[in-house]
Chains A and B, each alone.
Chain A
Amino acid sequence: MNSDCRRAMDRLELSRQERLAPHLRARLQDHLGDCPACRQEQQDTEPLDLFAGLTRGGLPAGVENYILGGLRVEEERRDDGVWSVASIWPALASLAAAAALVVVWALSGANPVAPGTDLWLEAHAMNDVVATVEDIRSPTAEILALSLPEPSGGRTEIILIVDGSMDL
């Protein structure tokens, strides 16, 4: 697929959504007229409405209670103010045991990591402490920013630099 074809295929989807300017639509039609590969691609990528209803239709039995049960535990935790730096040290120690933890330091305030990737994970730390990894801004996923709400309403950010092979 050459760059003309790639551009045509990108515009094809805009055209389907009726968001393509008339002169670009005409150009797309010209390209489709001349290019059998893109005509084939057009057929192969037609919208599929067969699966349209699959995110509607009621919650399966027990799911609502399961969700609410988890929330109740979390609400109590927030009320009890267990979110503090001290409370996650056992969890961090467990993480360290699971993989090579190179450096840990704590800071607060602005996000210290540069914008970059869109990776985003949640670390399920031990001891029932869930540390949410807000941003991973390194292409090798070596730098993890953990953000924990504090009971006071403030915010503590902890940056972990972990071994690249560590699987969270």
Chain B
Amino acid sequence: MTDEARLIAAAGRGDRNAFEKLVSGRQERVFWTAYQVVGHFEDARDVAQHVFIRLWQVLPRYRPGLSFDSWLHRITINLAIDACRRRRARPEVVGSEGSEPVAEPLTASPFQDLRQREVQRIFLRLARRLSPRQRAVFVLKEMNDLKTTEIAKIMKLTPSTVRNHLHQARKELRRGLARDYPEYMPKGSAGKETP
């Protein structure tokens, strides 16, 4: 039994220390993944909170068919997509569109920080045109570096559907970059040979 499996088993029996160890270091990934899918700070914070509440509730039933991190991704993505749908269903609050987190990803230097903030703003603006699923696939693939087969398992989609969502998302984001932020278009990628 691995250390992680031991922690999962103990947390499932209600051991709070084990649960805290299990989730420490995973909150950041959960919050930012939710934030990039949902696009609103308060909603992402609520999603992150619910992810860990749900984890605490369902951990006794965890069966290692999916890795623990994939399982956590599944809970995060499901709740984030649900939050997107709820947000779309309710009337838009004036001024809430594209609300930004109180702090943004930290990077090595102030210069990088500035660029990262700008990149964050660009993503929030352009990603509004994506469906929640396209957005979730893009976030898992291009930001969390997961394989498309893993994403398929997490989202319970066929790998081919995941690849299709990924293509649609990249196309839309590239189109937006070329139109509104041409200085951010990746250089030399056009026409590159397929590996």
Contacts and interface: CB of A to CB of B under 8 A. Distances in A.
B143 A149 contact: no
B53 interface: yes
Contacts of A53: 105, 107, 116, 119, 143
B56 interface: yes
B53 A71 contact: yes
A16 interface: yes
B54 A56 contact: no
B16 A43 contact: no
B123 interface: yes
B192 A46 contact: yes
Interface residues of B, number: 67
Interface residues of A, number: 56
Q: Which of A42, A54, A56, A66 has the most CB of B within 10 A?
A: A54
Contacts of B189: 43, 46
A48 B160 CA distance: 19
B162 to A, nearest CB: 9
A54 B195 contact: no
Contact of A49 (B58, B107, B186): B186
B57 interface: yes
Contacts of B52: 67, 70-71
A59 B119 contact: no
B157 to A, nearest CB: 7
A161 to B, nearest CB: 20
A54 B52 CA distance: 21
Given A48-B174, A60-B101, A122 B29 contact: no
A15 B195 contact: yes
B190 interface: yes
Contacts of A140: none
Given A52-B143, A55-B36, A130-B53, A18 B195 contact: yes
Interface string A26-55: 001100100000010111111111111111
Contact of B170 (A47, A62, A66, A155): A47
A32 B194 contact: yes
15 contacts: A9-B164, A10-B163, A10-B164, A14-B163, A29-B194, A44-B170, A46-B170, A53-B105, A53-B119, A54-B32, A54-B36, A58-B103, A60-B101, A70-B52, A149-B61
Q: Which 6 A-B pairs have the closest CB atoms?
A: A57-B105, A118-B156, A60-B103, A70-B49, A55-B32, A13-B163
